[in-house]
Structure 1
Amino acid sequence: MKVTLVSHASVVIETHGMRVWTDPWLTGKVFNESWSLFPPPAFDRSKLGGIDYLWISHIHPDHFHVPSLNSLPAEFKRRVTILFQDNHAERLFHVLKECGYQNFQVLRHRQQIALGGRSAVYCYSAGTLDSCLGVIEPEGTLFNINDSRLNATDCRRVRSDLGRVDTVLSQFSLAVYNGFQPRESHLRRGAVAVLEKIFRNHQALGAKVTIPFASLMRFSLADNRYMNTFANHPRDVWDYAQKRALGVAILFPGDTYDSSARCDSAAALAKYDAAYETIDQLPYDTPAAMPLPPIKEAFHLMVRHLHEKYPSPLLRMLRAVVVKLPDLNKTVAFSIPADSFSEVESSRPPDLIMSSQPLHLCFFKPYGLQTLSSSAQHTVVRNRANWRIHRALFALNNAQAYGRLKYLLSGDTLRYFGKRLRAAVRYTDLTTAWIRLPYVYRLKRRAN
């Protein structure tokens, strides 16, 4: 089996003459224009004719990147088969049909499907959104964890289904930050926790080699560039693994890993080290300021929708939120129960600090508030519990899990709450990861 790294979470997996391309993201920015590919992708479009399947892990835009998928040739779209988990697959397929794709295959949880010849694929759905891909051949098995959070039970189930896992692909750095303070300690611990997660999964799956990927991006806005200081580098993954005698293969975009040959990571590590030396010299954009009137209009439209979909007692749990907008030199307060949005005295202590453009997105798009966690464009100063309730409500709204009785008993809503409940149980054993002090110290030294 061969794995060629394209970019971020995108690889081409070759097995017995069949090729599966995962999560193509080839150009542009995602998450409110706040993430950029880093290093640049390496993809030869002349090789499209050899790709048989496209697998999409989940619907986040750094994995389901519609502009990249839409940019591919019409002949490729007619021929290739899209693989996606059995989790509202019809919605993703509808978007891709509009782009010209014609062939689709739903992958059910823990199901194997033959690719032809001597290979098969396997799907493991995790939580409410993510999924993993297994690629199975007689010589060995590859398991693409991607962004998924797997606990010990998940790993036992995967091993019972697949028999063995030889090669694991896994995310290796920070992807979310909820703005909680103190920033430095939250982010240092979070970065180390990702390393812990990688190698818990590596050991629980009995893997021979882990390939770190799905973090090949940089935070590229002026108000989130601080995140790059705390991000794990491939060198961090390598050093962590070497001290524990765990197998790791480091690939730079364009590199190929061959499971039948020894992988020398030295050249890739040197390229990454040189790339990260230049990260502060790259351009960092500042979003244009959004005036208060369109923010206020978007807020009132969103509140009307929430009052239609959720019972008043639930909405009354939300207290007013005060937001400082440094780019406008203004402070505003909004209340969803009262449907009020107004400018207030700048001396009033804020609950949140963010620029005007991401605040507008919070109200303008159903997914806007969730995007804040990925774009890292806000700081939570006070009243964290109240903000958590707002986040929970907006997540329900984005999932179309509405609270009024006529919606509450719908199949989609019940399935959503069932998945959330199972996820809460699944992840209890992920909350006690041991933080290894040498890696906290290293990240602290980098920050200084």
Structure 2
Amino acid sequence: MNVGTTNLSVTMIGHAGLLIEAPGIGLLTDPWLGGRIFDNSWELALPALPLADFVDRVTHVWISHEHPDHLHWPSLRAIVAARGPAIALLFQEHPSRAVIDQLGRLGFGAAIELRPGCWHRFGPAALRSLPAGRIDCGLAVRIGDDVIVNLNDAKLSPSRLRGLRRAIGRPRLIAAQFSIAGWQPPEADRPATKVLDRTIAAWRALAPAEVLLFASHARFCHPDNAWLNRHALPADRAVDRFAAATGVTPFCLSPGERWSAAIGAITPHAATRYAAAATPPALSPPDPLCDAEALCAAADAHAATIARVPWWHRRRVPKLVVALRDLACVIAIDLRAGRAGFDPAPACVHLEMTGAMLLFACTRRWGFDTLDVAGRYRVLAGTKDHPALRLLSDHGAGRFSDRLGKGLVSPRLWRRLWARRADLLAVARKIRRDRAAFDRAIAAPPVGHQASTGDEALQRIDRE
């Protein structure tokens, strides 16, 4: 193992929370210190390191994106209460200012946006923002001769990763996901490996000296999504699969454990501790019943906001029809018309969920963007990539301006697109593939899977 040239260390806080330290800086990333998130859908696999054990060493907090396992408002408020004015908060520059404006009101000493494509100096560290997708973002941290790349949830194309390698050199450490973070097809009979395979591809492109598997140390804890735990890839199996594919053994850290640039992972057996802790979670209580009329009004109000999106984005979006199993009714969301309402006799029902889950999605700005992550629904027809869900997620993530044309001339938007230019072709291809798969699934459901009509969906609800 090469000896590091800086007094650099990384301490695991929990899930995606890391404390990257060197003399003169303590950079805390994505702190989620406890509590259930995504409307009681996720919990930490192991308790996070207590705030009192490390808060005095924090000088900066970096938030990758607004999903609550990364941007956890109660944890940030606890940090502010402890010593917020002494800490600067960092966030990616995004076309929408919604997140940075809210973060700026928390009480940190400063709330700073990181423009993509350039290095930002904070004491001995230089930081480079790596935006990806609608909201995700990675971070490159250079301290002395060493570079740490925190990929967390960011999906960077192989060409983008190769360009990053040319820009930053060979990283000393990359930290990336290894398991699922949302809904999976229920017919799958084994743990999903596509996230780990993406991390293996990143290793091949960046050729780091070491690999930390993190940001997947959570479990599904609601009665409507606990079945997803059987699709999650355990940390010890992720380590073995990575080593078999690459010849390099990655490592995990449990909360409080540390990696040092001088000697590597000080306690390298955390993967087995996560596996030993993988007992079935205590499930959250079932969703309370909500008022069907109030829910329909909330869905209609949310659909009306989509009418502000340019018409060419809405013109080919079919209705999204949702069966609410606890309310025994069906709601159709028509984004082309900008309205939603009860549908007593739908020709086809796409999704099934509880009324409380749909209400959560309709009354939170990022509700539809986190619907897939919560995983608390069933696909009855088509695929999970319904065009209406994509548009609702895009709108919640601030992709569209309320004023036609305003967003198209925003320098913030063009800087993000330029930073992601190597990804855009891959993204366009994926959107086309997803739409084609959805259309095929609607036209001809796979053998053993029959698309549900409204009557069939309601009959199943009655049986259950």
TM-score range, shorter chain: 0.7 to 0.9
Q: Which residue of 2 aligns with 1:344?
A: 344
Q: Which residue of 2 aligns with 1:425?
A: 425
Distance 1:29 1:242, change over 3 A: same
Q: Equivalent residues in 2 for 1:15-414 (5 A)?
A: 15-74=22-81, 76-88=83-95, 90-117=97-124, 119-177=125-183, 182-185=185-188, 188=190, 191-243=192-244, 244-263=246-265, 267-276=269-278, 278=279, 280-311=280-311, 315=314, 317-336=316-335, 337=337, 339=339, 341-342=341-342, 344=344, 350-384=349-383, 388-398=386-396, 399=398, 401-402=400-401, 405=404, 409=408, 411=410
Q: What is the alpha-carbon distance in structure 1 between the residues aligned to residue 167 and residue 321 of structure 2?
A: 50
Distance 1:265 1:290, change over 3 A: same
Distance 1:205 1:410, change over 3 A: closer
Q: What amino acid sits opposite 2:328 in the alignment?
A: N
RMSD: 3.2
Q: Give CA deviations for 1:342-376 in whole Å, capped at 9, x if unaligned.
A: 25269x75321111111223333343222211111
Distance 1:137 1:318, change over 3 A: closer
Q: What is the alpha-carbon distance in structure 1 between the residues aligned to residue 20 and residue 243 of structure 2?
A: 26
Report how far residue 147 of structure 1 moved: 0.8
2:265 aligns to what SS in structure 1?
A: coil
Distance 1:87 1:397, change over 3 A: closer
Q: Which residue of 2 aligns with 1:8?
A: 15
Which has the higher mean CA deviation after the structures are superposed, 398-407 or 80-89?
398-407
Report how far residue 401 of structure 1 moved: 0.9
- Give the conservation status (yes or no) of the 8 Å contact 2:139–2:150: yes
1:131 aligns to what SS in structure 2?
A: strand
Which consecutive unaligned segments of at least 5 residues does structure 2 have?
A: 1-7, 434-464
2:31 aligns to what SS in structure 1?
A: coil
Distance 1:328 1:405, change over 3 A: closer
Q: Give CA deviations for 1:38-85 in whole Å, capped at 9, x if unaligned.
A: 211113414322211111112222211121101224462111122222
Distance 1:371 1:248, change over 3 A: same
Distance 1:383 1:113, change over 3 A: closer
Q: What amino acid sits opposite 1:14 in the alignment?
A: E
Q: What is the alpha-carbon distance in structure 2 between the residues aligned to residue 27 and residue 137 of structure 1?
A: 30
2:259 aligns to what SS in structure 1?
A: strand
Report how far residue 110 of structure 1 moved: 3.1
- Give the conservation status (yes or no) of the 8 Å contact 1:86–1:107: yes
- Give the conservation status (yes or no) of the 8 Å contact 2:45–2:218: yes
- Give the conservation status (yes or no) of the 8 Å contact 1:144–1:169: yes
Q: What amino acid sits opposite 1:287 in the alignment?
A: D
2:162 aligns to what SS in structure 1?
A: helix
Q: What amino acid sits opposite 1:231 in the alignment?
A: A
Distance 1:286 1:413, change over 3 A: farther
Q: What is the alpha-carbon distance in structure 2 between the residues aligned to residue 15 and residue 89 of structure 1?
A: 32
- Give the conservation status (yes or no) of the 8 Å contact 2:357–2:376: yes
For this pair of structures, how many residues does the alignment match?
Answer: 421
- Give the conservation status (yes or no) of the 8 Å contact 1:9–1:24: yes
- Give the conservation status (yes or no) of the 8 Å contact 2:259–2:265: yes
Report how far residue 288 of structure 1 moved: 1.1
- Give the conservation status (yes or no) of the 8 Å contact 1:288–1:357: yes
Q: What amino acid sits opposite 1:19 in the alignment?
A: G
Which consecutive unaligned segments of at least 5 residues does structure 1 have?
A: 433-448
Q: Give CA deviations for 1:102-136 in whole Å, capped at 9, x if unaligned.
A: 2233322232233334x433322233322222222
Q: What is the alpha-carbon distance in structure 2 between the residues aligned to residue 69 and residue 149 of structure 1?
A: 25
Q: Give CA deviations for 1:85-114 in whole Å, capped at 9, x if unaligned.
A: 222585434323322112233322232233
Q: Which residue of 1 aligns with 2:461?
A: none
- Give the conservation status (yes or no) of the 8 Å contact 1:224–1:377: yes
- Give the conservation status (yes or no) of the 8 Å contact 1:151–1:429: no
Q: Which residue of 2 aligns with 1:440?
A: none
2:89 aligns to what SS in structure 1?
A: strand
2:79 aligns to what SS in structure 1?
A: coil
Q: What is the alpha-carbon distance in structure 2 between the residues aligned to residue 391 and residue 417 of structure 1?
A: 23
Q: Which residue of 2 aligns with 1:439?
A: none
Q: Which residue of 2 aligns with 1:446?
A: none
